[in-house]
Amino acid sequence: MRLFVTGAAGFIGSNYVRHVLATTDHSITIYDALTYAGNLESIRDVLDDGRTEFVHADICEADDVARAMDGHDAVVHFAAESHVDRSIEDGSTFVRTNCMGTNVLCDVANTVGVGRFLHISTDEVYGSVEEGSSVETDVLAPRSPYSAAKAGSDLIALSYFSTYGLPVVVTRCSNNYGPYQFPEKVIPLFTTNLLDGKQVPLYGDGLNVRDWIHVEDHNIAAHLVLEQGVAGEIYNIGAGNEVTNVELTHRLLELTGRDESFIRPVEDRLGHDRRYSVDIGKISGLGWSLSRSFDDSLASTVEWYRTNRDWWEPLKRKAGL
């Protein structure tokens, strides 16, 4: 099978490529615009594999997409603007990439006859969940420009199934962590700051709750949906590792040998969702289950950043983090 994987020079996409190369005989075209979060150093090891090809281009440019996508069996669509803080500062880029880009990809996929289209989304489209867990049929209630643009992209992708019969499947995953994550996100930012002896900025009272899943567990689930998911359906992916931000911070302090003096409380984010939680009954029904404990995989993630300074130090310098 030939896979067309967008955003695969980013965090989750680059790890997905490694997963596919390690577990299948598929070939992969990596299609990435190499924005600030896309980095050739994140895929340097896989570019030497004879089953990969790299195309440097924008998903919003239909002609480029058409030239690159033709002849592929499936699309796996990771490419997105994803940082909430950046979307609060300027949401226009998020609408362009997440909504327009998804529309271009679906339109081209429909034209060239792609046999499968996996659209990767987020649990944030459900909005803040005070009690219980979100199921796939819940009304969407995004509360940031980022999550609104992702919700829009979900609806665009699903509309191509309803209108044209494009075999779209959608996944909505909880917060990912692991190697090669751009260091503006909380776990790599806090980890690298602490390794450098710097304080970490903790929003508000620190009691916002997130469910954390290791990127490899996410990618195993996503690939299962690509292979076995029902076209037109949505599948939540989560780990049940719900912790408050302050609890997460204390775990990272312990793993890096720092104390509470390294916490710097900062003003809360605008519209900060209090809690996310997804019901995973549907993905579990496909045979997926979590393979990693949070404690062990968080420790291994911290160790990865400890031993891979040559990857993240240039990124932090360039981004002024």
- The answer to whether the CB of 258 falls within 8 A of the CB of 193 is no
| DSSP annotation string for 78-113 | ------HHHHHH--HHHIIIIIIHHHHHHHHHHHHT
| DSSP annotation string for 133-188 | -B-TTSPP---SHHHHHHHHHHHHHHHHHHHH---EEEEEE-EEESTT--TTSHHH
Residues noted as catalytic: 123-124, 146
* DSSP 3-state of 215: helix
Read off φ and ψ for residue 199, nearest 5 degrees: -70, 165
d(CA 261, CA 272): 24
d(CA 239, CA 252): 19
Read off φ and ψ for residue 175, nearest 5 degrees: -60, 130
DSSP type of residue 260: G
Take residue 209 and report the two structure tokens written for it. 């709750």
Cα(first)–Cα(last) distance of the chain, in Å? 40
